[in-house]
Amino acid sequence: MNHLENIAKFIRYYSLVISTEAGSGHPTSSLSATDLMTGLMFGGTFRYDLENPKHPNNDRLIFSKGHASPLFYSLWAAAGKVTEQELMNYRKFNSPLEGHPTPAFRYTEAATGSLGQGLSIGVGMALNAKFIDKLPYRTYVLLGDSELAEGSSWEAMEIAAFYKLNSLIGIVDVNRLGQRGETMYGHDLTVYKDRISAFGWETIVIDGHHMPQILTAFKQATESSGKPVMIIANTLKGKGISFIEDKNGWHGKALKKDELTRALKELGPVDKTIRGQIQKPNDTRPSEQKPGTANPVSYTAEKPVATRHAYGTALERILPQFPNMVVLDAEVSNSTFSEIFKAKYPERFFEMYIAEQNMVGTALGLSIRGKIPFISTFAAFFTRAFDQIRMSQYSHANIKFCGSHAGVSIGEDGSSQMGLEDIAMFRTLLDSVVLYPSDAVSAEKLVENMAKHRGTVYMRTTRKDTPILYRNNDSFSIGGSRVLKSSKVDSATVVAAGITLHEALKAYEELKKKGVFIRVIDLYSIKPIDEKILGKAAKDTGVIITVEDHFEAGGIGEAVQSALTKKPVPIYSLCVRKMPRSGKPEELLDYENISAKAIIAQVKKLTKGHKKPSKRKSVKRKR
């Protein structure tokens, strides 16, 4: 016990020192959870192979309250894996010890710092342990009391209870004080206990600075059967240093040099050589399946199929090739068609109910544990999880998103159900891939490429059945495009994807009758974008018209402009510019000026005064 208290002192010492050295950071939020984390890590329950952070049997520790990073790094220092010199570079450029934990530091499971997200990531890891890898590791998540105000925390709790994730153990550090003052409930722990119990968790209320209580709680937590466990700990922010302990106004503030001197004097002598022991994990092997081969794609040109349907079919088709796939859906699997996968592989499908934030966090947890999560909902409803999506890039996520019901072409359901900003949202991510197939064949091929590609990929699918454009053996690469119509006398290039590509093809036929030729490009990969083909089209035809069932900002038009910005040609963007509403898909495409009619009008406006080419050149068609 005395040993643990000495380790806690070591950790308090460094939490204070390194934040002062950095000139910023959250020492007080670290001090409140120091005893809890010391007890967890070095008190005999935590199992971890320090030489192998990727060991599949390691217990997982997620700091959902990521601002307690001084504590986090000091813990691993107490484990002997971070030197004092490394600690002193905390928050400095090029140090892996960033302001909030990121995977730059090898013991970080997931980047945190946007509150209320850690528990969902833990749900993903615990789902993996229980249902997929079938391993005995436990997942621990340290939470702040303030972040329980985030609805996402409660989404994670309800899903964890639903799936009976008894290997998931949360620790709430109830230090009473948020950033600018007291939380809604201060030190009233019964509020937390009542709520968390009502959400189906086992709860253990303790004094978070009393080591015997802490050790008993962790032991008890490991014995839960059937329920996730939340340890609710009464703590003091700044615990251990009288002039900051339980005092408001000290959030996110490093001590000044003289304050640090005072604090360290109060802390007393620290044994810098002290090290905590962590027990090694078992060596159980994860349940694994060998990759096989997927069946080929098979569509007939006669029968239109919605790309959303092709998405579901593809998931089911390719699982043998990608046995690490997992499919999640937010209670709309009969709309996104992930239900096709579910029907065949129910053990690899997880219903996430209408809680998109937690779905993304869970997917991140699964992705970190080596799975390939495909997650789907209406394109519009991924906006619900933009913060989780944004954060996932900092954990190098490998999540495959599919948003169905894109654009006004969904029709009668109206604006609330129309994804009109999803391309913009997913394009913002560094290194993301954004795909938007126009037919079932390309959709299936692109789903395969999603699985192959390491990183964040978003696919946008369409509600309506659309004609098959391609042959079953055509291939579609990330970063590619398809020139569907091309001649030597093209007077403009129309770049489209999804529903509007079919409008562009209709426009082509109409214009052709009048002797006007346009180039039509299927921009199925919006990011990365096919600069070469677009550049050539710009050069050949001198003008580009983009047509998209999406708002202007951040959409296909701006993506194409970005691609061509150094060799500029005029680019006309047809997109959703008026408040959308209910109606028939065709009416809405016309209303928003993104239908064949609008394309024809735009081409005519551009070619007005142009001479009809005197001699028709050979028209090259590509399928």
Please enumerate in sequence order all residues whose Cβ is within 8 A of that of 207, keeping only pairs 6 or more positions apart, or say none: 213, 233, 234
Region from 180-188, 287-295, 319-327, 497-505 binding its own copies, contact rule CB under 8 A: 180-188
The CB-of-335 to its own copies minimum distance in angstroms stands at: 7
Contacting its own copies (CB under 8 A), which of 1, 5, 106, 184? 184
Q: Does 570 bind its own copies (CB under 8 A)?
A: yes
Contacting its own copies (CB under 8 A), which of 106, 413, 488, 622? 413
Q: Does 6 bind its own copies (CB under 8 A)?
A: no
The CB-of-347 to its own copies minimum distance in angstroms stands at: 17
- Restricted to residues 368-397, the positions that interact with its own copies (CB under 8 A) are 380-381, 383-384, 386-387, 389-391, 393-394
The CB-of-367 to its own copies minimum distance in angstroms stands at: 17
- Restricted to residues 145-164, the positions that interact with its own copies (CB under 8 A) are 146-147, 149-155, 158, 162
| Backbone phi, psi, residue 228, to 5° | -70, 160
- Restricted to residues 248-307, the positions that interact with its own copies (CB under 8 A) are none
Of 158 and 510, which CB lies nearer to its own copies in the complex structure? 158
For the residues of 498-549, what is the DSSP string, one character each? Answer: THHHHHHHHHHHHHHHTT--EEEEE--EEES--HHHHHHHHHHHS-EEEEEE
Of 113 and 122, which CB lies nearer to its own copies in the complex structure? 113
Contacting its own copies (CB under 8 A), which of 211, 310, 499, 588? 588
* Count of positions on this chain that bind its own copies (CB under 8 A): 112
Contacting its own copies (CB under 8 A), which of 335, 472, 477, 593? 335
Q: Which tokens belong to 34?
A: 């120091």
Contacting its own copies (CB under 8 A), which of 9, 60, 81, 100? 100
Contacting its own copies (CB under 8 A), which of 167, 357, 398, 409? 357
Q: What is the amino acid identity at position 155?
A: E
Of 30 and 487, which CB lies nearer to its own copies in the complex structure? 30
The CB-of-35 to its own copies minimum distance in angstroms stands at: 24
- Restricted to residues 454-493, the positions that interact with its own copies (CB under 8 A) are none
- Restricted to residues 418-437, the positions that interact with its own copies (CB under 8 A) are 420-421, 424-425, 427-430
Of 256 and 567, which CB lies nearer to its own copies in the complex structure? 567
Contacting its own copies (CB under 8 A), which of 85, 293, 300, 565? 565
Region from 173-181, 214-222, 476-484, 613-621 binding its own copies, contact rule CB under 8 A: 173-181
Write each residue from 11 to 50 as x if it is in contact with its own copies (CB under 8 A), else as -, in one continuous string. Answer: -----------xxxx-------------------------
Say how far apart CA 118 and CA 358 lie, in whole Å. 10
Angle CA 22–23–28, to nearest 5: 95
Q: Does 584 bind its own copies (CB under 8 A)?
A: yes
Of 149 and 270, which CB lies nearer to its own copies in the complex structure? 149
Contacting its own copies (CB under 8 A), which of 5, 80, 186, 194? 194
The CB-of-340 to its own copies minimum distance in angstroms stands at: 12
The CB-of-103 to its own copies minimum distance in angstroms stands at: 10
Region from 40-48, 113-121, 475-483, 503-511 binding its own copies, contact rule CB under 8 A: 113-121
Give the number of other Cβ atoms within 10 Å of residue 566's Cβ: 8
Q: Does 114 bind its own copies (CB under 8 A)?
A: yes
Q: Does 131 bind its own copies (CB under 8 A)?
A: no
Of 194 and 288, which CB lies nearer to its own copies in the complex structure? 194
| Backbone phi, psi, residue 233, to 5° | -115, 125
Say how far apart CA 157 and CA 203 lie, in whole Å. 12
Strand pairing category for 457-460 and 482-487: unpaired
Contacting its own copies (CB under 8 A), which of 28, 57, 102, 442? 102
Of 135 and 420, which CB lies nearer to its own copies in the complex structure? 420
Say how far apart CA 495 and CA 534 lie, in whole Å. 9
Give the number of other Cβ atoms within 10 Å of residue 31's Cβ: 30
Contact status, residue 60 vs residue 138, Cβ threshold 8 Å: yes
Contact status, residue 390 vs residue 184, Cβ threshold 8 Å: no
Three-class DSSP labels, 397-429: CCCEEEEECECHHHCCCCHHHCECCHHHHHHHC
Region from 10-18, 112-120, 502-510, 593-601 binding its own copies, contact rule CB under 8 A: 112-120
Q: Which of 68, 45, 216, 204 is nearest to 136 (CA)?
A: 45
Angle CA 182–186–189, to nearest 5: 155
For the residues of 287-347, what is the DSSP string, one character each? Answer: P------PPPP---TTS-EEHHHHHHHHHHHHTTT-TTEEEEESS-HHHHSTHHHHHH-GG
Residues involved in catalysis: 356
Give the number of other Cβ atoms within 10 Å of residue 162's Cβ: 15
The CB-of-201 to its own copies minimum distance in angstroms stands at: 12
Instruction: Count the helix, strand and coil residues of the chain and give each as a percent rounded to the nearest 5.
Output: 40, 15, 45
Q: Does 176 bind its own copies (CB under 8 A)?
A: no
Q: Does 581 bind its own copies (CB under 8 A)?
A: yes
- Restricted to residues 499-538, the positions that interact with its own copies (CB under 8 A) are 527
| Backbone phi, psi, residue 279, to 5° | -80, 145
Q: Does 362 bind its own copies (CB under 8 A)?
A: no
Say how far apart CA 613 and CA 115 lie, in whole Å. 62
Q: Which tokens belong to 265?
A: 């004097």
Contacting its own copies (CB under 8 A), which of 578, 616, 617, 622? 578
Of 468 and 526, which CB lies nearer to its own copies in the complex structure? 526
Q: What is the amino acid identity at position 478?
A: I
Distance of alpha carbon 462 from the chain centroid: 22
Q: Does 245 bind its own copies (CB under 8 A)?
A: no
Region from 256-264, 405-413, 455-463, 504-512 binding its own copies, contact rule CB under 8 A: 405-413
> Which single residue is written with the structure tokens 């999603």?
450
| DSSP-based three-state secondary structure for 285 | coil
Contacting its own copies (CB under 8 A), which of 85, 94, 273, 618? 94
Please enumerate in sequence order all residues whose Cβ is within 8 A of that of 9, keeping only pairs 6 or more positions apart, or say none: 267, 268, 270, 271
- Restricted to residues 535-554, the positions that interact with its own copies (CB under 8 A) are 551-554
